[in-house]
Amino acid sequence: MTEYQQERFPLPTPRRLWRELRLRRPPWWMVTGFVLVVIATWLPLYGIYRIRTSYSTSPKIHYIQDMDMQPSYRPQETHTMFADGRATRPPVAGTVARGHLALDDHFFRGFKTINSGEGGPEIEFMDGLPEGVAFTDELLLRGKDRYTIYCALCHGDDGLGNGIIHQRGLALKEASWVQPTNLMTQEIRDRKDGQIFQAISDGVRNMPSYNSQINAADRWAIVAFLRDLQESSPVAPPSAPPVSPSRGNP
């Protein structure tokens, strides 16, 4: 091919293609504008980050109100709409919180109610630990911990009914003071586990209910620890009958 033909019809060599297809360098104003546009797109992201991570005493802007901003009343405030004048309404009778239906009588109550016919319902206490509660070292340690916090103050660390509260009552020479129940007697040993659980839950005589302070699992842990303590302790003589059942501690 002649030189003239090469000029009119250049051969598509890789070097020639690279030179022909290579873009020219853009002008400075175009590069500057592109950089400014990129930086501008970062500003909303920075603003969102500041809003999400900063604290302020001023209320935030709420564009869509929905039902978020409503008149409200603080606890113990009054309201004329209701007959009792209370703004805080009590729960509807029979309402059960989600996850607290407590259908297992053995685990949550320690007894079951039997309809015996004409004599009315009777209570049958459960014997042994509920299903799913294993008699393990961890359970005993937990029971000992809860017993020391809630029970030993009256019943004593050894369960003989000589806790520091009883000692204080004797020191004050209270005439109507009754010694807490000795848990090492044969009478207490013969009781079913469910009856001891129910006594912790509902209280007996002057002993208050611990249903709100101790959850069901920890109450069974206390029962397990008490049984273990009874196994390792001698049987105590029967306790004297309480002088004033209305004020005596079990």
- Dump pLDDT digits (tens) for 97-138: 888 888 889 999 999 888 766 767 788 999 999 998 999 999
pLDDT surpassing 90 at residue 248: no
Report the predicted TM-score, pTM, of the whole model to 2 decimal places.
0.61
- Dump pLDDT digits (tens) for 74-102: 888 998 888 999 998 888 888 888 888 88
- Dump pLDDT digits (tens) for 177-210: 888 999 999 999 999 999 999 999 999 888 899 9
* pLDDT of amino acid 121: 79
Q: Which of 84, 228, 248 is nearest to 176 (CA)?
A: 248
Q: Which domains does the chain have, with CATH numbers?
A: 3-50 (no CATH), 137-231 (1.10.760.10)
The confidence band for 24, taking pLDDT boundaries of 50, 70 and 90, is confident
Q: What is the DSSP string of 124-137?
A: EE--SPPTT----H
Residue 51 and residue 113: Cα distance in Å, rounded? 58
List the single range of 39-53, 60-74, 172-186, 207-221 with lowest mean pLDDT: 60-74
The confidence band for 61, taking pLDDT boundaries of 50, 70 and 90, is confident
List the single range of 143-157, 204-218, 228-242 with lowest mean pLDDT: 228-242
How much is the mean pLDDT over the chain? Answer: 85
